[in-house]
Amino acid sequence: MAVFFWILAAFATASCLFMAWALGANSNSPPFAPAIGANAVSTMRAAFLVGVLAAAGALAQGGAISETVGAGLIDGVTITPLAASTGLLVAAGFMMFGVYSGYPVPAAFATTGAMVGVGLSLGGDPAFGTYRRIGTFWLLVPPTSGGLAFVTATILRRDDVPDTVGIPLLAAAVGAILAHVRLGVIPHPTRTEGTVAEAIAFALGGPTVLGIDVLGIVVTLLFALAGFQGIRRRTEASAEDGIRTFLLVLGGVVAFSSGGSQVGLATGPLENLYGVELGLPGIVLLALGASGILAGAWMGAPRLLQATSREYAQLGPRRSIAALVPGFIIAQLAIALGIPISFNNIVISGVIGGGLAAGSAGVSRRKIGVTIAFWIITLGTSIGIGFGLYRLFSTVLGVS
């Protein structure tokens, strides 16, 4: 029996690596496509940066999403190695189908559905509270991402808002958010992840006014000022160079965020195996997922980057910025709440919103409708396939 357990554990680990590789090759690439389209970075260098930054994000921010996927989707049972392998294979299969069909399959939908299916097949109970929380967030993503992109693109297109003002203000907003990004390497007294603003305020013991940490606000303003001044100097010297620089920086922070929000889709199903049955610290599992993402980005991202950069080049640098800023904000919010999300969903919604600001979304209504329908079908079908496939495997292998 011990030999069989280790075989299943090895198979589950291989499934996790394959899923992480697919995420690195597909879901983590779009953030740098606008920078390539604007000639701010070469394709190969972008692929290298995507791998490094997404892997770093996976290590520093992936814990919350991994825990939700591994233990929060089903009540009453724990995910076995066979169930984890089955769920990951189903999710990876959907992603590969999306690549070949030409329609982007949301990894979060496929993984969540597959893990709910195998969990129900194990005899678990639906976690309706978690489903409501995740479903509400998913429904709010398209209008929020599209709306933010629309507003951002509209402002950047205004003649009375010069690039030396509009672009630095966006950089200031990104800088302020970075001060509050949760990182696993920063300790916190009540959470597993802390922020730079909290760490500095805690270390220096700053005062509070009406329950508000004054020093934390000061750190936030300093981060915002640094972002504003850095990009403003570049745009004053050359508006084109300033935009390219911001696209490169924005691509980096979005790639980092995508790694943190996506790695849990690969590592979550193995939370019980690695954390409970093998007794390993969580960083080991995250490192496994980060390695797969790194390999996938370096091996598979260049081709996808070349393809998507052409699409972003048609959007233009300002609309590309407008599409990526919501991606960063929503991804960090999802990480803070521990909600698995589809990065394709966020980016596509942002592209459509930014396109509407110019009078055309750049995507046909039929394409949008088919894509949304495909997302819904992915969620429902992955539940059914996960349920049936685990039932088949457990029957054939004689595993309860």
Cα–Cα dist 55/191, whole Å = 22
What's the token pair of residue 178?
A: 């970075």
* Distance of alpha carbon 175 from alpha carbon 313, whole angstroms: 25
Distance CA 280, CA 329 (A): 32
At 99 the pLDDT is 64
> Of 255, 295, 257, which Cα lies nearest the Cα of 21?
295
CA–CA dist 348, 312 (Å, integer): 11
Provide DSSP, 64-96.
HHHHIIIIISEES----HHHHHHHHHHHHHHHH
- pLDDT for the residue 358: 66
> Average pLDDT per run of 10 along the chain, which is 400 residues long?
81 90 78 74 84 91 89 90 91 78 75 94 92 92 88 84 89 93 81 82 73 82 94 90 88 90 91 88 91 88 68 71 87 90 78 70 62 82 94 82
In the prediction, which pLDDT does 32 show? Answer: 78
Structure tokens belonging to residue 88: 């990951």
pLDDT of residue 50: 87
Locate the domains of the chain by residue range: 2-397
Task: Please report the beta strands in the chain, taking only residues with DSSP state E, as ranges in sequence order.
Answer: 74-75, 125-126, 208-209, 212-213
- Please report, to the nearest 10 degrees, the dihedral formed by the alpha carbons of residues 72, 77, 78, 79 taken in order: -90
Phi first, then psi: what are they for 29, rounded to 5°? -85, -40
pLDDT at position 115 is 94
Neighbours of 251 (CB within 10 A): 28
Q: Residue written as tokens 């606008």? A: 34
What's the pTM value of the predicted model, to 2 decimals?
Answer: 0.87
Residues 6+ apart with CB under 8 A from 62: 184, 259, 260, 261, 263, 264, 267, 286, 289, 290
Q: What is the predicted pLDDT for the residue at 125?
A: 92
Tokens matching residue 10? 């090895």
C-alpha distances out from residue 116 to 2, 12, 300, Å: 27, 17, 29
User: Which residues have CB under 8 Å from 149's CB, separation 6+?
Assistant: 319, 322, 323, 325, 326, 349, 350, 351, 352, 353, 354, 357
